[in-house]
Structure 1
Amino acid sequence: MSHDHLTPGDDAFDPRRWEEAGPEELTRLAEQRPEELYEAAVRLCRGAPGGEFGGTPQTRTAGRIAEALADTRSRDCAAYAVDIVGRLPPQGAAARQERDRLRRSVAERLAKAQPPRHLEPLFVALPDDPHDPETETRACILGELALTGAGTGRRVLDAYTARLRELGHPLTRLPGTRLDVEHRFTVRVRGLGPVKTPQQLRARFPEMPPSDRGAVVGRGAAGVPDDGRAQAAVRPFTAGGWEGGSEARFFMLPEPLDPDAFGMSLLEELPLDCLTVGNGSQGTALACATTPDDVLNELFSAAYYGGVNGQGQGRAYARLYAWDSLYALMGLSVDVPFLEAVRVAADHRWLRFMAFTGWFHHDAADVAFAVLDPTRTRVAVLAATDTDQDAPG
């Protein structure tokens, strides 16, 4: 769809009419007069004279229109929604974040609301630039369809994915369909919210008993700094806007550790900020055994739902950040196939731990994991905490 499309009545156009429109009105218009909605969004995106973009209010209003169209089961509405979010140019960091949020929101809504036959026409023309806004929107749609299983075996979608892979788009590294280890993504079970108390942790996961041997080995551990690996490990939290802080550390043990000795006794001997309060003493903490799918789901959720003052990243990118983090925790190269990573993950030992120190806020959310590699000589630790205590008002 051409961005040169002209609409009548620009001089009489009042953006406030659309900024004040409620969800019900937008939904009704999307069902009854989608062309009118689309033309309004085009005018909003066109913004001020000279082609300058009008700012965040216009972005959000155009995005609300695109979301309403994406939710409306129609081939034309799907095309309109994609075209609108492709028109949102960035102006400053805040505008870029809003544009990315809207693009990913529209992609998720399209994957949920539209049958694949309504989306296939969007992928007929193959892309040349992986950074083009329209290409990015389509990459997000493909990432969403991969998690639903609706996009497999369709020639047009497969060809577009192959072209994105040639262009090096990061989302094409992900599996083309949901893996079994990803079965908990976006699934919320009543009564099983975030783990916030020791009682909840002990009720869901087996606690690892204290170990003198673990403490001895922990005292001999040597830190292995790796900034790139650490950044990948904490990416779900930084991308999701967790504001309390995050920490990723890697250690080499002086000798192989019996997996039964891998617990809080070892972790408390490591130089971890999250286990140290302001005066240098250590607070109450406990560790429980967990599984790779639990860790992967928490990483996905951190990016997908976002922090209390942050923003969700959409399922496609939340999935990418979760896998990148899990690979970093295991020290795997990005070239390792995903099913091989799943097999290797089963040979690691995984812990959830909880600490009551000055580092954790115990406000919105706290997450902490540790992993022991199959050689039993390398340990990775990842912790993050979220808070809204500094939020305005």
Structure 2
Amino acid sequence: MSRNHVTPGDDASDHHLWGRSEPADLKNLAEHRPEVLYEALEELCRRVSGGGADGASAARTVGRIAETLADTRSRECAAFAVDIVSRLLPSGATARKDTDRQGTDRKEADREAGDRLLRSVAARLAKAQQLRDLEPLFGELPEGIEGPAVELRACLLGELALIGSGLGRRLLDAYAERLRELGHPLAQLPRERLDIEHRLTVRVRGLGSIKTSKQLRSRFPEIPPTDSGADAGRGAGETQDDVRATALAGPFTLGGWAREPEARFFTVPSPLSTDDFGISFIKELPLDCLAGEGGHRGSALACATTPDDVLNELFSAAYNGGVNGHGQGGAYARLYAWGSLYALMGLAADVPYLEAVRRAADHRWLRFMAFTDWFHHDTADVAFAVLDPTRTRVAVLAATDTDAGQDLVG
């Protein structure tokens, strides 16, 4: 075995060589001798906890091996991967022992990196492993929701729900019910994929981000402008709701999109005709995203869309992450997307999901696009407006992302 294949007892510096191993080498070792990887990681983590090795490098190595094992189909590999991120991953391994703001920021970055690894391993397990090999992982019910071991299993249940798997298995059902009783946020989501979620994680060729008015018009029916719509927009009043706005913007802020999303709420004194709920109405609202003509050529437009389209965009924003952020994993992207959809409709958190789907059909949903300096028409732009069933309340959400590397403020 070459020195790139570390075994327990190797020199403390060997994990640097191991970290540079080719993926095919690690995959081969995971398939044929996973216990070697696991035992070596145990030794590496002992060195880190004792201060004898570089924590940041060790954490990267541990994460890389955990993902490789999660991708390798076998009950043993699944168990090793779960144990690594549940028990062995050095807690705050890359954190510095200082008390200034830089140290606080570093610890927060470490926590986020640990969350990303945990969610990545959960997603890989759901995709690669057979359900019968995952079931033993849920044999012991948790006493609380704190800790990586419980969080990993909650994420794994969430990932399985997205692929329509796991429901009806005794151990998984019991664990999910226990999480629900304990109040874990992921456990409040449906254990199976709803019809409105049919597009989540599904990539369709030719249906990427909408960046041009031509693309928008080709996919959705445009709403013609009306003078009465403009009159209604001028008479709209704004309603402040910071809690609702935070939930509405969540998929984009948590996904690290380049600009702070705009989340606003308006009321009109009398019911708005659905024919007047279009770009003429929206352009009269005091929205930051519509201020100024901008340097891009084109006219603002609005098209009718559907709740499943909106939910998919909200999910994608968190799932893929922005150019300045990271993807949040399927389970949490689903949670953030639903939270944003509820905020768009102004629904209380205790409204059942299927009831929310029913109510969504009574709302009017719009996508709109504008060519102002607020939007970038670069990596991704998303803008929605939703009219409630009383036809007197409107929610607006606009977000934009870019890889221009600017330090943008909302």
> TM > 0.5 between the two?
yes
Q: Aligned pair in 2 of structure 1 residues 218, 39: CA closer, same or farther (>3 Å)?
A: same
Q: Deviations over 1:254-293 (max 9, x none)?
A: 11000111011111111111111399xx983110000000
Contact 2:48 2:58 in 1 (8 A): no
Is 2:360 the partner of 1:342? no
Residue of structure 2 aligned with 1:270, choices 285, 288, 292:
285
Match of 1:139 in 2: 154
What does residue 40 of structure 2 align with? 40
Match among 240, 250, 253 for residue 268 of structure 2: 253
Per-residue deviation at 1:304? 0.5
Counterpart for residue 220 of structure 2: 205
Which residue of the partner structure matches residue 194 of structure 1? 209
Q: CA deviation at 1:96?
A: 1.2
Name the CA distance, whole Å, in 2 between partners of 1:53 and 1:310: 29
Mapping 1:30-179, distance limit 5 Å: 30-48=30-48, 50=50, 54-86=54-86, 87-88=88-89, 89-90=91-92, 91=95, 92-179=107-194
Change (3 A) 1:310 1:43: farther
The 1:49–1:114 alpha-carbon spacing in structure 2 relative to 1, beyond 3 Å, is closer
Question: Partners of 1:42 and 1:54 in 2: how far apart?
Answer: 15
The CA deviation at 1:11 is 5.3
After superposition, give the CA deviation of every residue in 1:299-338 in whole Å (9 maximum; x if it has no partner). 0011011112311111100000000000000000110000
Structure 2 CA distance for partners of 1:120 and 1:100, relative to 1, 3 Å: same
User: What CA distance in whole angstroms lies between the structure 2 residues aligned with 1:82 and 1:128?
Assistant: 18
Q: What RMSD, in angstroms, separates the aligned Cα atoms of the two structures? A: 1.9
What SS is found at the alignment partner of 1:245? Answer: coil
Tell me the CA shift for residue 13 of structure 1: 5.9
Gaps of 5+ in 2: 1-6, 96-106
C-alpha distance in 2 between matches for 1:54 and 1:159: 40
Cα pair distance change 1:210/1:115, threshold 3 Å: same
Q: Percent identity?
A: 68
Question: Residue 236 of structure 1: CA displacement?
Answer: 0.5
Q: Summarize the alignment of residues 283-322 of structure 1 with structure 2, pairs less than 5 Å apart.
A: 284-322=299-337
What SS does structure 1 have at the residue aligned with 2:50? helix
User: CA 1:53–1:378 in 2, change beyond 3 Å: closer, same or farther?
Assistant: farther
Tell me the number of residue pairs that the alignment of Structure 1 and Structure 2 aligns. 384
Native 8 Å contact 2:48 2:55 kept in 1:
no
* Distance change (3 Å), C-alpha of 1:206 and 1:239: same
In structure 1, distance between residues paired with 2:40 and 2:232: 65
Residues 55, 228 of structure 1: CA spacing in aligned structure 2 closer, same or farther, 3 A cutoff?
farther
Contact 1:56–1:95 (CA under 8 A) maintained in structure 2: no
Deviation at 1:39, TM superposition (A): 2.1
Shift in Å, 1:54: 3.9
Unpaired segments of 5 or more residues in structure 1?
A: 1-6
Q: Cα distance, 1:51 vs. partner?
A: 5.8
Aligned to 1:389: 404
Contact 2:70 2:77 in 1 (8 A): yes
Q: Is the Cα–Cα contact under 8 Å of residues 107 and 140 in structure 1 kept in the other structure?
A: yes
Q: Distance in 1 between matches of 2:274 and 2:198?
A: 27
| Secondary structure at the counterpart of residue 48 of structure 1 | helix
Question: Residue 250 of structure 2 corresponds to which residue in structure 1?
Answer: 235
2:277 alignment partner AA: F
Query: What one-letter code is carried by the residue in structure 2 that aligns with 1:57?
Result: S
When normalised by structure 1's length, the TM-score is: 0.94
Runs of 4+ with deviation above 6 angstroms: none
